[in-house]
């Protein structure tokens, strides 16, 4: 018997278990779509896009290169050992005999089997400036890798923005096609009524059927393009589960500048902010340093070296010895090897200079194209807005005329086609403007833009 006021433990357990199962079922619902705004899309892609993550790994790799270059300036200590058998007995220690030779003279031991063990030390002092420049080049390479990462990120943001607005365009276009199909279906029903009453020829119904079929086909093409664009968006975002369904959020509101900067100002801003242009300037500096590094091989190498070792025969009675000294190596003849390296690095420097010139031309063209694209899209938006209003009014009039018996079926179809074309052009103009704005941000080296 259950006590008053005491909960049924079994019932509570079943309620909790049911809630958990229901939540799991909702979470695993294949029809549920995750919604992303443009900011969410960019944040997700920055963390998961494979190409961007590879660029990030390049930065880490170049950081290891700095450690390697710095290690070249540090002393090196090695431990070594070995065993050697000689044909003739060899001394374990150098032969040092000071006259007069007598009973107290210390002769070295001779053995055919000799075992060596010891530590070796080497410290570079001067290598023609290559030690310092090597570290500087490594640091600049890491900086270039960071600029390449920024370039990849900006390209990713531009591509994501373009795809995002392409989806918005296709969704609006799909709505326009849906409205066209519904309008033609309603018009077809009117034609069928007129056909039954004998006030419309059968040809009107056939023409309406053909136009309705074309409208449904166009709607299907837009729907397929929309699905394909969503797949491209998931690829750019780096979503591993390509079977997952996503949808995008509303179009972001944008803070437009009160006065657009002048074209020349934007071009100068691009040269100071574009990460790939900054990177190519650093690459030119790296090439200049590599020329100096190659030329520095003509200078002497100075280093300190020493060792502390022991040698023994089969008795394993090791004889200790040590040495320390300062050494210099000066290249005299190398068959033209150093000069070939210098010429190669100079050629690489000339290539980088041409790369800089090409990039400068390309950046200027991108900024100009963005300005032209924005101006062109704004003019088309204004024109197509008026065209849509005119086409809607024309379609309304033609439908009224046809319903009253004073119009023709082809006039209705032509008016419907004109309206769909005007709406399509309007959606394309809106998309082109957003893409041109994104291109301008990319061309001037800005980030994701002023999104709210």
Q: Contact 252/452 with Cβ under 8 angstroms? A: yes
- Return the closest-CA partner of residue 137 out of 282, 18, 322, 11: 282
CA distances from residue 186 to 189, 196, 320, 378, 449 in whole angstroms, order as listed: 5, 16, 107, 35, 45
CA dist 208 and 188 (Å) reads 6
DSSP character at residue 128:
T
**For residue 137, which phi and psi values (nearest 5 degrees)?**
-65, -40
pLDDT in tens, 152-189: 999 999 999 999 999 999 999 999 999 999 999 998 99
Task: Report residue 37 CA to chain centroid gap.
Answer: 20
For the chain, what is the total number of helices (H) and then of strands (E)?
Answer: 9, 6
- Return the closest-CA partner of residue 434 out of 175, 256, 229: 256
Is residue 19 predicted with pLDDT exceeding 90? Answer: no
DSSP character at residue 65:
H
**For residue 262, which phi and psi values (nearest 5 degrees)?**
-70, 155
Give the pLDDT band (50/70/90) at residue 253. Answer: confident
Give the pLDDT band (50/70/90) at residue 200. Answer: confident
Task: Report residue 107 CA to chain centroid gap.
Answer: 72
**3-state DSSP call for residue 450?**
coil
Give the pLDDT band (50/70/90) at residue 256. Answer: low
Burial of 428 (0-12, 13-18, 19+ CB in 10 A): middle
Structure tokens of 288? 């200049």
Q: Contact 422/380 with Cβ under 8 angstroms? A: no
Q: Which domains does the chain have, with CATH numbers?
A: 34-80+129-300+337-443 (1.20.1600.10)
**For residue 109, which phi and psi values (nearest 5 degrees)?**
-80, 145
Give the highest mean pLDDT range of 5-19, 312-326, 360-374.
360-374
pLDDT in tens, 111-146: 899 999 999 999 999 998 999 999 999 999 999 999
pTM of the model: 0.81
Among the listed ranges 14-18, 236-240, 256-260, 274-278, which one has the minimum average pLDDT value? Answer: 14-18
Give the pLDDT band (50/70/90) at residue 428. Answer: very high
Among the listed ranges 182-186, 196-200, 203-207, 296-300, which one has the minimum average pLDDT value? Answer: 196-200
């Amino acid at each position: 018997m259950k006590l008053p006021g005491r909960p049924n433990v079994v019932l509570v357990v079943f309620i909790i278990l049911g809630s958990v199962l229901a939540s799991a079922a909702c979470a695993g619902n294949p029809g549920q779509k995750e919604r992303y705004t443009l900011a969410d899309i960019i944040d997700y892609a920055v963390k998961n896009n494979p190409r961007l993550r590879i660029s990030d790994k390049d930065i880490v790799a170049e950081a290891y290169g700095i450690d390697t270059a710095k290690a070249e300036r540090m002393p090196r200590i090695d431990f070594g050992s070995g065993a050697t058998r000689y044909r003739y007995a060899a001394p374990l220690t150098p032969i040092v005999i000071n006259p007069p030779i007598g009973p107290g003279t210390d002769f070295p031991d001779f053995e055919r089997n000799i075992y060596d063990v010891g530590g070796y030390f080497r410290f570079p002092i001067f290598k023609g400036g290559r030690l310092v420049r090597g570290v500087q080049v490594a640091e600049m390479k890491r900086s270039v890798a960071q600029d390449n990462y920024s370039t990849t990120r900006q390209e990713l943001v531009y591509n994501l923005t373009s795809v995002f607005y392409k989806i918005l365009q296709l969704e609006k276009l799909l709505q326009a096609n849906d409205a066209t199909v519904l309008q033609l279906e309603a018009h077809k029903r009117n034609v069928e009524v007129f056909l039954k009453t004998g006030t419309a020829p059968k040809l009107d119904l056939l023409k309406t059927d053909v136009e309705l079929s074309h409208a449904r086909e166009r709607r299907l093409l837009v729907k397929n393009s929309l699905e394909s664009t969503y797949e491209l968006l998931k690829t750019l975002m780096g979503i591993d589960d390509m079977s997952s369904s996503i949808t995008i959020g509303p179009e972001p509101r944008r803070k437009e500048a009160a006065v657009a900067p002048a074209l020349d100002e934007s071009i100068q801003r691009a040269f100071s902010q574009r990460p790939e242009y900054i990177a190519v300037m650093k690459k030119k500096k790296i090439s200049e340093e590599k020329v100096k590094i190659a030329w520095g091989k003509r200078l002497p190498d100075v280093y300190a070296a020493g060792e502390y070792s022991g040698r023994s025969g089969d008795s394993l009675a090791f004889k200790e010895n040590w040495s320390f000294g300062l050494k210099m190596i000066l290249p005299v003849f190398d068959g033209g090897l150093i000069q070939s390296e210098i010429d190669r690095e100079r050629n690489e420097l000339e290539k980088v200079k041409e790369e800089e010139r090409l990039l400068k031309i390309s950046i200027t063209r991108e900024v100009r194209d963005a300005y032209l694209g924005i101006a062109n899209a704004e003019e088309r938006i204004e024109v197509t807005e008026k065209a849509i209003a005119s086409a809607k009014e024309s379609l309304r009039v033609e439908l009224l005329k046809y319903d009253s018996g004073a119009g023709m079926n082809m006039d209705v179809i032509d008016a419907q086609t004109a309206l769909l074309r005007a709406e399509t052009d309007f959606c394309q103009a809106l998309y082109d403007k957003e893409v041109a704005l994104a291109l301008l941000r990319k061309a001037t080296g800005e980030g994701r833009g002023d999104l709210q």
